[in-house]
Amino acid sequence: MTAPAMIQSLIYFLSEHPSIITFRWSHSRLWGSTWSFVFAAIAAYVASSLLLHRLLLLLFRSRRPLPLGPIPALHSLSMTLISLTIFTGILLSAAAEIRDTRWFWRRSRTTPFQWLLCFPMGTRPSGRVFFWSYVFYLSRFLHTLGTFFAILRRRRLSPFQLLNHSIPIFMSFLWLEFSQSFQVLAILLTTSIYSVVYAYRFWTAIGLRSACFPFVVNCQVVLLGCNILCHIGVLLLHFIKGGCNGIGAWVFNSVLNAAILLLFLNFYLKMHLPQIRRNNGCVAVKDKGT
């Protein structure tokens, strides 16, 4: 198969396949699409994490890490590939949506960037970008496996870990439930950063040299900074353009993002800043899983 044919095939399967074009968010047809499921799933994740942490402390006096073999490396590699696939899929799907609805935007004087930040009022959770939003929502459950690896290897469990994995599940559910604005850009930013983060974790998991600074934490700082800027853009467009779809869910998500930011700053100041001051130079710093 020639390179152009491969590219066309990739575009078809990531943005033009009938299952993607005809996707519709439905409580009755899609796995994990109900309020009861998302609350039960988050509660089960928190309860199982606490239970595993307590059992290991009771059964094993020493804090020696349990051998997990290649499992963490395989998880990191899988999450890298999943993040890259979602990033490529939603990027191609957003481009296709822009192409197909450009005629309507010219009448309303809306630019593609404004659409990425602010969905028009009345937008329904169907079509290409919402298909990839649903895939992203499902991938957040795989993301939680990192908590169990941290417990098994370091006997460590912090409230920040639990909230840092629970809140994104709930936020991505709200994106679909209320057709919330800004989700396309949020998914693009998150999957691009996390493809790099998990690639780095795979790199270090197979024994290669780690960075001389907390690489994962710095990537999360970049992601949080970009999210703050985009949230400001959504707020401005909401008042300038006469409303953005799902603004109520966006406000609630902003509160959750602020909570993550405060918890992250507290985590960073306690866990990483003293270590950087002690090193006082380019000495390999091992990122602690979050």
Mean pLDDT of successive 10-residue segments in the chain (290 residues)?
A: 83 93 94 96 96 87 78 94 97 91 66 86 92 97 92 82 90 94 94 95 86 79 86 89 88 84 74 57 53
Residue 147 has a pLDDT of 92
* CB 264 within 8 Å of CB 224: yes
Residue 280 has a pLDDT of 53
Report the Cα–Cα distance between both ends of the chain, in Å, rounded: 41
Q: Where are the domains of the chain?
A: 72-287
Residue 95 has a pLDDT of 93
Task: Give CB contacts under 8 A, 24+ apart, made by 53-61.
Answer: 53/151, 53/155, 53/157, 56/151, 56/152, 56/155, 57/155, 60/155
Residue 106 has a pLDDT of 64
Residue 169 has a pLDDT of 95
Residue 275 has a pLDDT of 58
User: Residue 3 pairs with which residues in a beta bridge?
Assistant: none
Query: By three-state DSSP, how is residue 95 classified?
Result: helix
Question: Which residue intervals of 109-182 are DSSP H helices?
Answer: 112-117, 128-143, 145-154, 159-177
Residue 278 has a pLDDT of 56
Residue 288 has a pLDDT of 55
Residue 107 has a pLDDT of 63
**CA angle 164-284-201, nearest 5°?**
45
User: Residue 24 pairs with which residues in a beta bridge?
Assistant: 126
User: Residue 126 pairs with which residues in a beta bridge?
Assistant: 24
Residue 2 has a pLDDT of 79
And the tokens for 19? 């299952």
